[in-house]
Amino acid sequence: MTTAYDKWLKENERVLDIGCGRGTITKLLRHHYSLQLQACDIKNYLIYNDIPFKKMASDKLPKFKRKFDTALLNDVLHHIPKENQENLIKDALRVAKKVLIFEMKPSLVAKISDATLNKFHYGDLSTPLSFRDLSEWKSLFKKLHVKLEVKVMRKPFWYPFSHIAFLIQK
């Protein structure tokens, strides 16, 4: 997972992890890249108390005093309705110079596994499973008039999900 962002994240960057969940990826990225991290989500699910946290609305970020170098959306966007995804991406572009998105490719296995894992970890988390395929993502980014870089990630044999990573910026 951390290699998805190699060349996109720099040491000591100020990073906002949107939809941080339990904070596992947040902590891993902070350590791997020595990031200055701020986490936010619709509810505080963090299992690490050393990660700064702010609560957010479903598709609206809280107010921050400073801008971020990067905003991260790690396996987050498919948890909100498609019509709200665009708003959250726009809000992320408002608070950060660049936005990194790591999303699952749609598949039956991905949908079943994600719904099951989310029920286990978060219980009450709404999971509409609003997956987009690569062409849908590209279409959305074109509509947003952003610069785009794409990485299609290699899936380990044992892992049930395939991912795509995006870097977008104005």
Q: Residue-wise pLDDT tens for the chain (170 aa)?
A: 567 788 899 999 999 999 998 999 999 999 999 999 999 998 898 999 999 999 998 778 999 888 999 999 998 998 888 889 999 999 999 999 999 999 988 777 666 666 666 666 666 666 667 889 999 999 999 999 999 999 988 777 777 778 899 999 99
What pTM did the predictor assign? 0.88
pLDDT of residue 119: 65
pLDDT number for residue 1? 54
4 in Cβ contact with 28 (< 8 Å) = no
Output the six-digit token pair for 30: 């902070």
Q: Give domain limits for the chain.
A: 2-169
CATH entry, 2-169, from 3.40.50.10490, 3.40.50.800, 3.40.50.150, 3.30.70.890? 3.40.50.150
SS3 for the chain is CHHHHCCCCCCCCEEEEECCCCCHHHHHHHHHHCCEEEEEECCCCCCCCCCCEEECCCCCCCCCCCCEEEEEEECCHHHCCHHHHHHHHHHHHHHEEEEEEEEECCCHHHHHHHHHHHHHHHCCCCCCCCCCCHHHHHHHHHHCCCEEEEEECCCCCCCCCCEEEEEEEC
